Amino acid sequence: MLKILILDDEESIRKTLRLHFIEHHQVETVASINEFKDTYSKFNPDLLLLDLKLPDGNGLDLLQNLRNVGDTIPAIMITGHSDMESPICAMRMGAADYIKKPLDIEEIEVAITRVQSQIIQQKSLRDIGSHSLFQKGRIVGHSKAITKVLKQIGTVSQGKVNVLITGESGTGKELVARTIHLYSSPKEPFIAVNCSALSPNLIESELFGHEKGAFTHAIGKRIGRLELSKNGTLFLDEIGELPTDLQVKLLRVIQEREFERVGGNEKIPFQARILSATNKNLQNMMKEGSFREDLYFRLCTEAIHLPLLCERIEDIPELVEYLILKINHELHKKIKKVPEKVIEELQHYSWPGNIRELENVLVRSALLSSNEVLILPHNLSSPSESEAKKEIFFSLAQVEKEHITKVLQRTNSNISQASIILGISRPTLRKKITEYKIITETGS
């Protein structure tokens, strides 16, 4: 049994949470930070449920104040607002979870159960950085899928563990890498290497550098990317393209934390964190022998997988607004209005090229638009793609699986809401999720 203190200014939420959890836990509720201060010391809770926006302050500031005095009590943040910084900041402070309103009781139960099992181990949490690190317009969206990514960024930004970022092309892997760097070591270098853009003959010199005379045309000493990254971040994009001989050398660098320039014998310390990204399946590459298993586990201390744009269609209006502002600045356009039918059309497209394709479409649209209103191209998909789609037929089971998946995505995997929309019972829905092997946010 936990002692849970709930801070929320909405009376209905306080009553609902209290009634639900009072059977198995001791629960106290307060509506303001002033009430919280009095109750906290008397009640001595094991877990906090904190609303972000309050009449007399901010839940994040309250959590920060607790951390500043060395209080490591687990906290679950709840909010009705959508922004990029809050989940990152909350998770960097060591919040146990970050849950958006309208609240899903099942989601809160899962979070509380997780805290209950880990509460003994959570004796100390790293202090977070400065609020001055926050910058608008970095990662856009408020869907459950992207909020999960922001929470992971906040968690991995607490230390300097190596992180593998996976996802299809155009999902924003480098942006995530830069955001991790921004929130962990912003004053240090961020050095990016695209492993697929360099020939095998050049990539070793690019990474390790070389001494004068190390090979033909080496007319002077060259400082490599490993050395330039100093105490910051080395970002290895398309890591799956790294030649196998260099995989061995990179593994040695990670293990020994030092390296030598090509043609040299001076030991140079390596202090940077490695962030790597790929759109390839490294698990399959390891089975095929084209990617080293030991290197994989060194690079993938933590993993972040980015969702497809079609898996976060509720973010499209916000992405469009941000990208139009960017396009206006870069192309000197003055687009101020986006018709609702345009947003609807964008949300009904499959976006095989993800956010990169969305931006390209909006650039073309802006060029077509002669006034303040955005005009879309006549057809988002190519004729060949449209014809191909006409020839595709699905079984009833495939149609049912696709429909259930879409409903679960739209309801953020809320089983209760999804079962109502689908007109079936919750047990039946769970059975179909298992039968069709549908992956939900909770893994059910």
CATH number of the domain to which 16 belongs: 3.40.50.2300
In a domain, 442, yes or no: no
- 13/119 same-domain check: yes
- 171/280 same-domain check: yes
Gap between the Cα atoms of 67 and 83, Å rounded: 22
Token code pair at residue 152: 């992971």
- 23/120 same-domain check: yes
Task: Please name which of 84, 86, 113 lies closest in space to residue 98, comparing C-alpha atoms.
Answer: 86
CATH assignment of the domain containing 259: 3.40.50.300
- 315/213 same-domain check: no
Q: Which domain holds residue 381?
A: 309-386
Percentages (nearest 5) of helix, strand, coil residues in the chain: 50, 15, 40
Continuous segment of H or E residues that includes residue 395: none
In a domain, 270, yes or no: yes
The pLDDT value recorded for residue 394 is: 62
In a domain, 402, yes or no: yes
- 105/193 same-domain check: no
Task: Please name which of 190, 118, 119, 180 lies closest in space to residue 152, comparing C-alpha atoms.
Answer: 180
8 Å CB contact between 8 and 53:
no
Quickly tell me which residue has 């309801």 as its tokens. 411
Q: Which of 6-15, 184-193, 428-437 has the lowest mean pLDDT?
A: 428-437
CATH assignment of the domain containing 342: 1.10.8.60
User: Rounded to 5 degrees, what are φ and ψ at 26?
Assistant: -85, 130
Surface-to-core class of residue 101, CB atoms within 10 Å of its CB (0-12 exposed, 13-18 middle, 19+ buried)? middle
The pLDDT of residue 120 is above 70: no
- Among residues 305, 328, 361, the one where a domain terminates is 305
Torsion sign across C-alpha atoms 278, 281, 283, 285 = negative
Query: Do the bridges between strand 3-7 and strand 47-51 make them parallel or antiparallel, or are there none, so unpaired?
Result: parallel
In a domain, 440, yes or no: no
The pLDDT value recorded for residue 441 is: 61
In a domain, 145, yes or no: no
The pLDDT value recorded for residue 88 is: 85
8 Å CB contact between 211 and 202:
no
Assign 355 a pLDDT band (cuts: 50, 70, 90).
Answer: very high
Domains in the chain: how many in total?
4
Question: Which neighbouring-strand residues pair with 222?
Answer: 210
- 198/290 same-domain check: yes
In a domain, 154, yes or no: no
The pLDDT of residue 124 is above 60: no
In a domain, 244, yes or no: yes
- 266/278 same-domain check: yes
Gap between the Cα atoms of 438 and 39, Å rounded: 44
Three-state secondary structure call for residue 38: helix
Gap between the Cα atoms of 424 and 77, Å rounded: 32
- 295/178 same-domain check: yes
- 244/284 same-domain check: yes
- Among residues 305, 330, 363, the one where a domain terminates is 305
Assign 248 a pLDDT band (cuts: 50, 70, 90).
Answer: very high
The pLDDT value recorded for residue 102 is: 84
In this predicted model, what pLDDT tens digit does every residue of 59-103 receive, in sequence order? Answer: 889 998 888 888 888 899 988 777 777 788 888 877 888 888 888
Most confident range (mean pLDDT) of 123-132, 252-261, 407-416 is: 252-261
- Among residues 276, 305, 334, the one where a domain terminates is 305
The pLDDT of residue 259 is above 80: yes
Gap between the Cα atoms of 151 and 147, Å rounded: 6
- 89/222 same-domain check: no
- 377/414 same-domain check: no
Quickly tell me which residue has 């744009």 as its tokens. 309
CATH assignment of the domain containing 428: 1.10.10.60
Q: Classify the phi-psi angles of 194: left when phi > 0, otherwise alpha if psi is within -120 to 50, otherwise beta.
A: beta
- 276/330 same-domain check: no
In a domain, 119, yes or no: yes
8 Å CB contact between 331 and 366:
yes
